[in-house]
Amino acid sequence: MARLALPYPIAAGCTRLSPCLPLIPGNLLTTAMAILPHDRAEPALELALSLDIPFWPQLPHLNYYEDMYVQAAEHFPGILLFPETGSIRFDTNKFYEELPELLEHWDDLGYFDISPTYSAVYHRFLEMDLSGYAAIRGQLEGPVSFGLKILDENDRPLIFNDEVRSLLIDFMARRVQAQLQRLKARHPGAFMFIDEPGMQFIFSSISGYTDLRAKEDLDRFFAQIERPRGIHLCGNPDWEFLLNRDLDILSMDIYTNREVFQAYIPAIKRFLDKGGVLSWGLVPTGCDVFGGETTEGLMAFLEDLWAFLARAGIDRDQLLAQSLITPATCCLINPDREKTVTLAYAWLRDISRQLREKYRLT
């Protein structure tokens, strides 16, 4: 009998009749998005390492090169960096001048990893003993957001230059693959977040970059990257679009986007049945919002959502087994800098502990 072609890759134990086994640990463990407001590396690393799944922090207050867009830009031809103004630009003539150098290094995966100049924090993280954690996580800015953000000499986003965009997709895939391999050498459970804050804008009628084009680009991008990997964003995109991509994890700000996200029941169920993990961004990190919340209120908020999903036909045990919890967003603008963010992480750890005890999760 001919084998049926499945519409997605098979993870361990995955068939049409039974859900896939997730490639990323769930059970309401904690992780977080990478950007932190610290201006010193060691306290930021200490905070990141306080979670079940630590990450290397991105610290734009430490220096210009620790910014996520600057880090993603390393080695991309045509990039102009302006540390004195904190900006990045693209020059088309410079792109074609520097393109041969990139192509010459294309088969050298190590060339695409983040250098110590572009993140001393990343390399300090790699030096640490990470063996005792459930997993570890890295991140890189995604090609869609990078392409929308970086402007050429005519103030046109790179995403609209067909020749540049095509290379950008493949370039960013090489960069993610390089980092993932480096992290897996330190921990077999390593995985990657692709940060795509610009993803929410492509569904606007005025964006000019259509969801059909984004689908083709993202499918091409992820096809070049080993598992496990997924997308993180804090905005409000078309959730079905993302849930239907070939992702192992989707990380979101559920604190803000609950009412919209919970409307996508069939897509959520399909995502879970494919072995996908949902990372619930729960604890706010902004001073004003954080001050109006309690751990009890946040737990009730999340459990009410899970109850709603269960009533709609999503198996609660499966949902909890394939869930992480995180802060709702990053925050760089608090007047108290890292104080509120540090408290939010403490709340996150406490909420995770209480929920895991309640639902008897290991």
Averaged pLDDT of the chain: 93
Mean pLDDT for the stretch of residues 160-176: 96
Q: pLDDT band at residue 7, thresholds of 50, 70 and 90?
A: very low
Strand partners, 58: 35
> Vertex 27, ends 261 and 7: CA angle to 5°?
60
Nearest to 319 by CA among 256, 248, 254, 271: 271
Q: Evaluate if residue 40 carries a pLDDT over 80.
A: yes
**308 pLDDT exceeds 70?**
yes
End-to-end CA distance of the chain: 41
pLDDT of the residue at 12: 46
Half-sphere exposure of 101 (CA within 13 A, CB side): 12
pLDDT > 90 in the chain, percent: 88
Q: Where are the domains of the chain?
A: 29-358
- Nearby residues of 204 by Cβ (< 8 Å), 6 or more positions away: none
Q: Which of 11-20, 180-189, 192-201, 243-252 has the lowest mean pLDDT?
A: 11-20
Look at residue 4 and give its three-state secondary structure. coil
Minimum mean pLDDT among 207-211, 229-233, 264-268, 292-296: which range?
A: 207-211
Average pLDDT over residues 195-224: 87
What does residue 58 show for φ and ψ, rounded to 5 degrees? -105, 125
Half-sphere exposure of 268 (CA within 13 A, CB side): 25
Rg for the chain (alpha carbons), in Å?
A: 20
- Residue 26: what are its φ and ψ, rounded to 5°? -120, -115
Give the distance, in angstroms, between the CA of residue 139 and the centroid of all CA atoms in the same chain.
6
Quote the CA–CA distance of 230 and 191 in Å, as a whole number.
Answer: 8
CATH number of 29-358: 3.20.20
The pLDDT of residue 206: 63
Alpha carbon dihedral 124, 128, 130, 136, in 10-degree steps, equals 0
Q: Report which secondary-structure segment, H or E, holds 212.
A: helix 211-222
Give yes or no for residue 11 having a pLDDT over 70: no
Model pLDDT, residue 336: 93
Assess contact for 7 and 273: CB atoms under 8 A: no
pLDDT above 90 for 210: no
Question: Among 40, 58, 59, 56, which Cα is nearest to 48's?
Answer: 56
Question: Quick check: 178 and 113 in contact, CB under 8 A?
Answer: yes
Reading the block at residue 188, the tokens are 């077999």
Which DSSP helix (H) or strand (E) runs through 265?
Answer: helix 265-273
Crossing angle of helices 295-311 and 254-261, in 10° steps, is 20
β-bridge partners, 252: 280
Backbone angles phi, psi at 176, to 5 degrees: -65, -45
Which pLDDT tens digit goes with each residue over 242-254? 999 999 999 999 9
